[in-house]
Amino acid sequence: MPELTLTAWLLVTIGAVGVGFCKTAIGGVGSICVALFAMAMPGEAKASTGVLLVLLLVGDLVAITVYRRDVAWRSLGRLVVPMVVGVLIGVLFMQHISDQALRITIAVILLSMVALHVSKELWTRRQAQVTAAAGGGGAPSGTAVAGAPEAANEGAEAATKAGRLVLNLGYGSLAGFATMVANAGGAPMNLYLLSAKFSMLRFLGTGAWFFFFVNVFKLPFSISLGLITAGSLKLCALLVPLVLLGAWAGRVLIKRLNQELFNNLVIIFTAIPAAFLLVQAL
């Protein structure tokens, strides 16, 4: 079992509770857990990902049981192939990266995804304001514009489908890659679910099943890379009750949150630990 200082034990204890909490409440807290485990085991960043993976699987099992009826299966299906590709790229990446580079990679991935999502939301709001301001002089909603070619509507529909395809490929592959190299796939996946405008429960249920599949898929690779050992499993056994405690606390809290606060908390808890890790690594 990895030798931990008193401070390190405090960090992994908080991190284990956070793992359970993020699975049943605020997904962005998972990013903090990644940072906590990396800080608790500063010379063993890769080993920390193995410990965290086992704990995440425990949290996944709890979440898919609690939210088994709140799943967007069609959306999950579209992400499977990109996720597999991302995991396989991550496996190759893990064979040629140092612990410090791994921390920088985690931070850059998380911050990039947050910046992308915030920029997209700001642009969407700006477009809505422009449309609302110009709405007074336009044609009534649902009324065809005289002389407008039907091909324009077909082109717009094709562009929308292409955009969704790019979104699925981008977020799916990034989630697979990030979760393989650092158990940080929660950031791109959470931002994807926010972009899809899912309700809180649908967000949590769909995310739970996605990461259950992802974590089971990458488990053999993690074992072959030496990330999971008998010693790390002993540490996991001590921390599992804390994961269950966090899952219970998350289930209690989620009943008291509204959608807007939930969305904002996901963004905040994704950005803060990423920025801290980047500063620490540099």
For residues 8 and 37, give the distance between their C-alpha atoms in angstroms, rounded to a whole number. Answer: 8
Q: Tell me the pLDDT band of 163, cut-offs 50, 70 and 90.
A: low
**Where is average pLDDT lowest: 10-14, 21-25, 125-129, 229-233?**
125-129
Count of CB atoms within 10 A of residue 101's CB?
Answer: 14
Most confident of 58-62, 85-89, 198-202: 58-62
pLDDT (tens digit per residue) in 56-76: 999 999 999 999 889 989 888
pLDDT (tens digit per residue) in 21-53: 999 998 778 778 877 887 888 666 667 888 888
Count of CB atoms within 10 A of residue 57's CB?
Answer: 17
pTM: 0.73
